[in-house]
Amino acid sequence: MNRPDSGAVVAMVGLTAISIGATALLTRYLRPSMGTWLVLSGVVAVALGVVLATIAWLATRRRAGEPPLVATDHGSSRVGWLLLLPILVAVIIDPGALGSYAVGQQAAYRAPAISHIDVEAMLRSRSFGGQAAEVSLLELWQAVEQGASSDSLAGTPLSLDGFMIHDENIGQGFVLARLVVGCCAGDALPVAVMVRGDPQAEIPDDTWVRVQVRFDPEATQAARDEPGEWALVAAVVDLVELEVIDPPDEPYLYPY
Amino acid sequence: MTGVRSDSGGTEGDLYTKAETTPGGRATRSLTPWLWAVVVCLIILRSSLRTALVNPAVENWATIFISLTFQAFPFLVMGVLISSCVAVFVPPSWYARALPRSEYLAVPAASAAGMVLPGCECSSVPVAGRLVDRGVPAAPALAFLLAAPAINPVVLVSTAVAFPGQPEMVFARLIASFITAVVVGWIWARFARPEWIEKRLRRSAATSKTHAFTETAVGDLLQAGGFLVLGAALVATLHTVVPQSVIAGVSGRGFLAGVTLALLAVVLSICSEADAFVAAGLTQFSLTSRLVFLVVGPMVDLKLISLQVSAFGRGFARRFAPLTLVVALIAALAVGSVVL
């Protein structure tokens, strides 16, 4: 690669970094807090590329009459061209956030329950006048893992968001899942609950839904004691109501 | 404006040394106009290409590939800014003064220095590459390369968060990683031959420091970035093709569990700032085997091996990666059996 090419490639990667870091694309790929760093590094890369190209151009001008610079210098090895690959993939494939495919690949794991939560206080503050308490799948999983407060969990209707995964092994019902990301989508781990009940509509996999459910402590315990196909479901719940929603701005959950 | 090493009598503007031209001195034409033409074509053809290519597996691959690349990118940029400072502004004599004269003492000193670089493996590879290029002995530079991503403050804090109420995990990770870096450094100092390291980084012969800095930074970014892309593509492919239930059948305790998680760490190539979270999720495995995961991951993984090839060549990575893997495995199992 000669210098103009090197500068152009680095600047293009920098522009891509900025366009991911500064837009809604960011949350498909990375933890939101990485955005600032991605934009900053993109600006640095663009600056480096532009300065190098300018230097090359000035040097060419100074040596007017001599053979053109591009014919004599050999800046970097050709491996640098590979940096165009992520740009092409981002432009052509433009992939969405990870979904049911990734959950299927990772079904042997589940996201860890890390931060202790006060389940009673959480449910009280989110459930107004008998309304369903909005709880994330990760919070539900943490509440179940803490064990102690099953009674209050079972006593309150819950509202959960996630994407749908069908599985013929689960008779009447489906799996509701989300992916939990520590740093980037490359380290995503699934958290899932088994929802029993008939959605009463043909809803394809990966459709985002909001369900109102009731937690079933006995079935959850039984599923943990005797893991089946979905060995790592966090909980078993009964469907009360289901509505299809738009994919959220932040498709992933974050453990901390 | 001296201080930049210049091996050839390069004229101003002839920014690269002679040894760095392609074999035979073949002329390379600028491809930039073609580049833009291709980009415009692709954008026009995008939607039809997309329908032809995209299915859930491809999309899964693409998301992970882009994530891995751009997650590493800020760290890579930070790394090449530091490496270019190393190459251009810090005189080689400084390292001779900063490091103990004996290579065996320099190794632990360099490992301890790794604690202050708050980056992941993607920053430390270009830095170590430039240190070797500037005449720092290989063993301490490599000890720094291993220690920096494993035991810096950010990584230790994220480990503490992922293992609440288990501060011994943070301690064990720190100790086992430090031991691994030092032992690998010592083994390298004692047994390695200089020709195992191929100096692949190009030196700028620019006369001005600004030129030299820019050239070095862009050159290192392209060199390391290209190999990073290769590593990310490979890791994304494994994520997409191999279902991870293959490890579900392995027993969670004992030596075999440790080996399994060591290999898992190599394959998954998770950034050292996020691997503690994944280790916390591997609840079916014992704490000691999860410690192996945390010690091996930042030191040997596919993405990192690819980056090591970019800085030191294939012959280096072929010897260094297995050596590090074995030492890290033993150190983690030993520390785990005592501390955890």
Question: Does A3 sit within 8 Å of B281, measured CB to CB?
Answer: no
pLDDT, position A76: 58
pLDDT, position B22: 41
- Pick from B53, B218, B225, B222: nearest CA to A89: B53
CA dihedral A204, A205, A210, A214 (to 10 degrees): 110
Question: Does B269 sit within 8 Å of A5, measured CB to CB?
Answer: no
In the block, which residue shows the tokens 């990966």? Answer: A206
Tell me which chain A residue has its CA closest to the CA of residue B201: A76
Question: Does A105 sit within 8 Å of B60, measured CB to CB?
Answer: yes
DSSP letter string, A144-188: HHH-TTHHHHHHS-EEEEEEEE--TTSSSEEEEEEEE-SSBGGG-
- Would you call B1 an interface residue with chain A, using a CB distance cutoff of 8 Å? no
- First-last CA distance in chain A: 42
pLDDT, one tens digit per residue, over A133-167 is 999 999 999 888 887 556 778 888 999 999 999 98
- Would you call B312 an interface residue with chain A, using a CB distance cutoff of 8 Å? no
- Beta strand pairing status for A158-165 and A133-134? parallel
Question: Does A20 sit within 8 Å of B310, measured CB to CB?
Answer: no
> If contacts are CB pairs under 8 Å, which of residues 170-209 in chain B contact chain A?
200, 202
Closest to B46 (Cβ–Cβ): which among A13, A91, A116? A91
- Pick from A49, A92, A29, A35: nearest CA to B222: A49
CA distance B241 to chain A (A): 8
Question: Does B64 sit within 8 Å of A98, measured CB to CB?
Answer: yes
> What sign does the dihedral A150-A156-A157-A162 (CA atoms) show?
negative
Which of B66, B121, B307 to probe the A interface (max A CBs under 10 A)? B66
Give the H or E element holding residue B222.
helix B209-241
Going by the DSSP 8-state scheme, the letter that residue A174 receives in this structure is E
Q: Which backbone phi and psi does B48 adopt, to 5 degrees?
A: -70, -35
Q: Which backbone phi and psi does A216 adopt, to 5 degrees?
A: -115, 100
Judging contacts by C-beta atoms under 8 Å, the chain B residues touching residue A89 are 62, 65-66
CA distance A230 to A216: 16
> What sign does the dihedral B138-B205-B127-B62 (CA atoms) show?
negative
Judging contacts by C-beta atoms under 8 Å, the chain A residues touching residue B282 are 109
Q: Are B71 and A184 in contact (CB under 8 A)?
A: yes
**Residues of chain B with confidence (pLDDT) below 70:** 1-30
- Pick from B35, B321, B29, B20: nearest CA to B180: B321
Question: Does B225 sit within 8 Å of A80, measured CB to CB?
Answer: yes
3-state helix, strand and coil shares in percent for chain A, rounded to the nearest 5: 45, 20, 35
Q: Are B68 and B74 in contact (CB under 8 A)?
A: no
Structure token pair of residue A142 = 């943490």
- Would you call A81 an interface residue with chain B, using a CB distance cutoff of 8 Å? yes
> What sign does the dihedral A21-A25-A29-A30 (CA atoms) show?
positive
- Would you call B303 an interface residue with chain A, using a CB distance cutoff of 8 Å? no
Residues contacting residue B331 through CB under 8 Å, at least 6 positions apart: B176, B177, B179, B180, B183, B295
- Tell the burial category of B305 from Cβ atoms under 10 Å away from its Cβ (0-12, 13-18, 19+): buried
pLDDT, one tens digit per residue, over B145-169 is 999 999 888 899 989 989 988 999 9
pLDDT, position A65: 55
Structure token pair of residue A7 = 């500068």
- Tell the burial category of A210 from Cβ atoms under 10 Å away from its Cβ (0-12, 13-18, 19+): middle
| Size of chain A in residues | 256
> If contacts are CB pairs under 8 Å, which of residues 20-49 in chain A contact chain B?
20-21, 28-30, 34, 37-38, 40-42, 44-45, 48-49
CA distance A21 to chain B (A): 9
CA distance B41 to B238: 31
- Pick from B148, B126, B173, B168: nearest CA to B275: B173
Helix (H, G, I), strand (E, B) or coil at B283: coil
Phi-psi region at B212: left, alpha or beta (left = phi > 0; alpha = psi -120 to 50): alpha
> If contacts are CB pairs under 8 Å, which of residues 118-157 in chain B contact chain A?
none
Tell me which chain B residue has its CA closest to the CA of residue A67: B27
CA distance A147 to A111: 17
Question: Does A41 sit within 8 Å of B229, measured CB to CB?
Answer: no
- Would you call B60 an interface residue with chain A, using a CB distance cutoff of 8 Å? yes
Judging contacts by C-beta atoms under 8 Å, the chain A residues touching residue B294 are none
- Pick from B193, B183, B119: nearest CA to B154: B119
Judging contacts by C-beta atoms under 8 Å, the chain B residues touching residue A75 are 15-16, 202, 215, 218-219
Question: Does B35 sit within 8 Å of A256, measured CB to CB?
Answer: no
CA distance B164 to chain A (A): 7
pLDDT, position B3: 38
User: What number is the ipTM of this complex?
Assistant: 0.92
Task: Supply the pTM of this predicted model.
Answer: 0.88
Q: Are A73 and B14 in contact (CB under 8 A)?
A: yes
CA distance B30 to A8: 10
- Pick from B135, B164, B111: nearest CA to B298: B111
**Angle (nearest 5°) at CA B310 between B138 and B148:** 55
pLDDT, position A113: 82
- Tell the burial category of B340 from Cβ atoms under 10 Å away from its Cβ (0-12, 13-18, 19+): middle
Tell me which chain B residue has its CA closest to the CA of residue A97: B63
Q: Which backbone phi and psi does A144 adopt, to 5 degrees?
A: -65, -45
Q: In tens digits, what is the pLDDT along chain A, a chain of 256 residues?
A: 778 888 989 999 999 999 999 999 999 999 999 999 999 999 999 999 999 988 888 877 776 655 444 433 444 578 899 999 999 999 888 899 999 999 988 766 778 888 888 888 888 888 877 788 999 999 999 888 887 556 778 888 999 999 999 987 777 889 999 999 988 998 898 999 999 998 888 899 999 999 999 999 888 888 877 766 666 688 899 999 999 999 999 999 998 7
Closest to A114 (Cβ–Cβ): which among B78, B161, B233? B161
Residues contacting residue B270 through CB under 8 Å, at least 6 positions apart: A182, A183, A186, A187, B278, B297, B301
CA distance B145 to B123: 9
For chain A, state the CA radius of gyration. Answer: 25
Q: Are B129 and B311 in contact (CB under 8 A)?
A: yes
